[in-house]
Amino acid sequence: MKNWLVVGGGGREYVLAQTLAKAPDRRVYVAPGNVMMNNLQNVETVDIDEMAFSDLADFARQHDVQCTVVGPEQPLSAGIVDYFDAKDLPIFGPNKLAAQLESSKTFAKQMMAKSGVPTAQYREFTDMTVALSYVHCQEPPLVIKADGLAAGKGVIIANSSQEAIEAVETLIANGSKKLLVEDYLQGEEFSLFAMVNGTTFITMPIAQDHKRLGDGDKGPNTGGMGAYSPVPHITDELKQTAVDQIIRPILENMTDAGMPFSGFLYAGLIKTDSGIKVIEFNVRMGDPETQVVLPQLQSDLGDLILQLKQGHQPTAQWQKGQFYLGTVVASRDYPRSVVNGQPLPEINDPQVSVSYAGVGQTAEGIVSHGGRVLMVTASAETLKTARAKVNAVLDAQVDQESYTFRHDIGFHAIND
């Protein structure tokens, strides 16, 4: 058996491990993982924290790990790739310098400007008084962003001057030392992922995330309440435009700047009346998009990663003719607060798959432990059918006194 290591413990890592473990001669360890991952064939969790670089490296060395794949942004931004590289341990992900594309929105904006990559106009602030004065005088809506990592919740769309003021105060109170205030971009958002080594890359099927808590995109921003892929109204021509105007230029410029990118690159994009623009870059697969993108891969994920790392241009095969749609089941009061210790919904319907994230082991059994607990995904020839499968299972199996979820994932592409 060839050993691989996945770093992380959420729904994204669940599906990364599940996808890697499809190869019959591969055992996938996940650190720290979550208890439900041990039910996956050829997958085993390891009780090592994702930030314990020394322990992770020792494990990789002792178990002759062929390659380590990093899921979350925190270890990437803290330099796990640099640590493994220094010990000559194979790892797939960006080093600390390249990870600034996500860890510093100011850095990302500067790199976009140098690369000629279209994005929203912005101003940055380190003085709250100046920031408050600026947003008070601007015409809403405005987008207020924390400069650093914020677990997918560092972006606030303010539809009034008062909301903008409150957004600045909230982000500063949460510890942000620098803020960006951006023009609001109007249009259709979508996610484009690429597997990268320098200027060599493979793109993945387009996905669309749903950040807002409630149906109709109402309520507060979250880490993501569901996703679907592919996105029928984002054409192959639009995707190619995004590759030519955004993915290729940013990768070439990162290489020219002496910080070539390796790993999973996420481009959060928006189709506006003036063309495609970048909302943000992330330096890892998205959650919940991973759960609807990777099931479409017909090639071996591990083989693609190794080919990229060896400097080759691999070709990935993706399924055609099926749509994948998934809905996140979250703790009742998410994202404001989390109610842990709830019994997990028992979902055994063969028409859907379940990926687990916020779960934990107690003396009473496996219970919820976190904001986003699990995600239910279905595939079908139409998005409407896929959503109907998911909603039927959720309505029948999930206690809505303990959990919350949306019923309208995919509504941008579904004519009800």
Alpha carbons within 13 A on the beta-carbon side of 138: 24
Average pLDDT over residues 264-271: 96
Question: Any idea which of 15-19, 132-136, 148-152, 231-235 has the lowest mean pLDDT?
Answer: 148-152
Give the pLDDT confidence score for residue 182 in this predicted structure. 86
Residue 137 has pLDDT above 80, yes or no: no
Amino acid letter for position 330: A
Q: Are 349 and 368 in contact (CB under 8 A)?
A: no
Q: Are 203 and 243 in contact (CB under 8 A)?
A: yes
Give the pLDDT confidence score for residue 70 in this predicted structure. 98
Average pLDDT over residues 241-265: 97
CATH 3.30.470.20 is held by the domain 187-309: yes
Domain boundary assignment for the chain: 2-93, 121-183, 187-309, 323-404
3-state secondary structure of 72: coil
Tell me the range of 136-140, 336-340, 349-353 where mean pLDDT is highest: 349-353
* The CATH number of domain 323-404, selected from 3.40.50.11720, 3.40.50.9100, 3.90.600.10, 3.30.1240.10: 3.90.600.10
Which pTM value belongs to this model?
0.92
Residue 403 has pLDDT above 80, yes or no: yes
Q: What is the mean pLDDT of the chain?
A: 93
Question: Any idea which of 36-40, 202-206, 411-415 has the lowest mean pLDDT?
Answer: 411-415
Q: What is the pLDDT of residues 176-187, one digit of tens each?
A: 778 888 888 899
Give the pLDDT confidence score for residue 138 in this predicted structure. 80
Furthest CA-CA distance within the chain: 62
Give the pLDDT confidence score for residue 322 in this predicted structure. 97
Give the pLDDT confidence score for residue 171 in this predicted structure. 83
Residue 152 has pLDDT above 60, yes or no: no
3-state secondary structure of 263: strand
Confidence of residue 129 (pLDDT cuts 50, 70, 90): confident
Write out the H or E segment, with its range, that includes residue 187.
none
Strand partners, 51: none
Query: What is the Cα 213 distance to its own chain's centre?
Result: 16
Give the pLDDT confidence score for residue 151 in this predicted structure. 55
3-state secondary structure of 46: coil
Give the pLDDT confidence score for residue 22 in this predicted structure. 97
Write out the H or E segment, with its range, that includes residue 297.
none
Residue 48 has pLDDT above 60, yes or no: yes
What CATH architecture does domain 121-183 belong to?
2-Layer Sandwich (3.30)
DSSP code, position 251 = H
Average pLDDT over residues 300-325: 97
Give the pLDDT confidence score for residue 203 in this predicted structure. 98
Q: What is the pLDDT of residues 50-108, one digit of tens each?
A: 999 999 999 999 999 999 999 999 999 999 999 999 999 999 999 999 999 999 888 99
Give the pLDDT confidence score for residue 416 in this predicted structure. 66
Residue 340 has pLDDT above 80, yes or no: yes
Give the pLDDT confidence score for residue 361 in this predicted structure. 93
Give the pLDDT confidence score for residue 242 in this predicted structure. 97
Average pLDDT over residues 21-34: 97
Confidence of residue 154 (pLDDT cuts 50, 70, 90): low
* The CATH number of domain 2-93, selected from 2.40.30.10, 3.40.50.20, 3.40.50.1100, 3.40.30.10: 3.40.50.20
Strand partners, 88: none
Give the pLDDT confidence score for residue 163 in this predicted structure. 83
Q: In 3D, which of 8, 7, 40, 34 has the Cα closest to residue 360?
A: 34
Calpha distance 157→226 (Å, rounded): 19
